Each structure stands twice: as C-alpha cells, then as structure tokens.
Amino acid sequence: MEDCIFCKIINRQIPSDIIYEDDQTLAILDIRPVSRGHALVMPKKHTEDLLSATGEDLVNTIKVTQKITRAVKDATGAIGMNVSTNNGAAAGQVIFHLHFHIIPRFGNDNLSPWPHQETEPKTRAELAEKIKKLL
C-alpha cells in the first residue's frame, strides 16, 4: 500500500531498527516503546488486520512472534511479556497493517492491566450462544 508506514519500512523507504526478517515476516523495535524492548512483528504482505489476514500469513507471523518474544524476553531480562494486536481504530489500531506488539514487562513497571467488569451469568450465556451460532 502506498500510504502504509509499515509497507514503507518493509520496502526500506523509511529506516527502522530491524531485529528479524525472513521471506514473509519483518520484526522491528517500536520507535515509541511502551517498555524497553517493545517490538513489532508484521507480515510483509499488506493486510489490514487480524480479521483480513490469510491463514498462511497468520501462521507465519505468529510463529515469528513467538520466536521474537523469546529473544526479547532474554535480551531485556523481562519477567513477563504482553503479546497483542489491535483490530480497528476503536481498539487502538493506528497503523492499518497487521502487526503484533511484543511488550516486555518488569516488576513495578507502572503498566496497568485492562479494567475488568462483573457480568451476570445469564448475560454471558446469551452472548456465548450468539457467538457459537456464528461459528
């Protein structure tokens, strides 16, 4: 894609700190990290998000994500790791090219987990049935 910053990084039109590359995948350090070692893993083939990716692209990308997560954890001495992807603007996606965030976690790093909410069993059961019907 012409305007995609990740496609420009993949095509070497924009410099980046590349930490891994193969025929299908690229991994870089985030230029605005949440924590030291925050990395991004993306398929080289442009796809907007998790829902529009092919199964092959997902398999390749998640395998590399696992490999990079291990290396980042060891390199940073992190005691935990968050691995995530945002799908859509409402979920915080800013660059519309599928990518996984690898965020090293350290004791007392002041990164808060998502807030959790209580729900009624009946509400969960109804939603579960609706989801199952769509599968």
Half-sphere exposure at residue 124, Cβ-oriented, CA atoms within 13 angstroms: 5
Per the annotation, the verdict on 101 as an active-site residue is no
Catalytic residue among 38, 97, 99, 101: 99
Concatenating the DSSP letter of every residue in 12-72 gives TSS---EEEE-SSEEEEE-SS-SSTT-EEEEESS--SSGGGS-HHHHHHHHHHHHHHHHHH
Q: Quick one: which of 30, 24, 90 has its CA closest to 57?
A: 24
Half-sphere exposure at residue 120, Cβ-oriented, CA atoms within 13 angstroms: 3
According to DSSP, residue 82 is labeled E
Amino acid at 57: D
Q: Which residues are catalytic?
A: 99
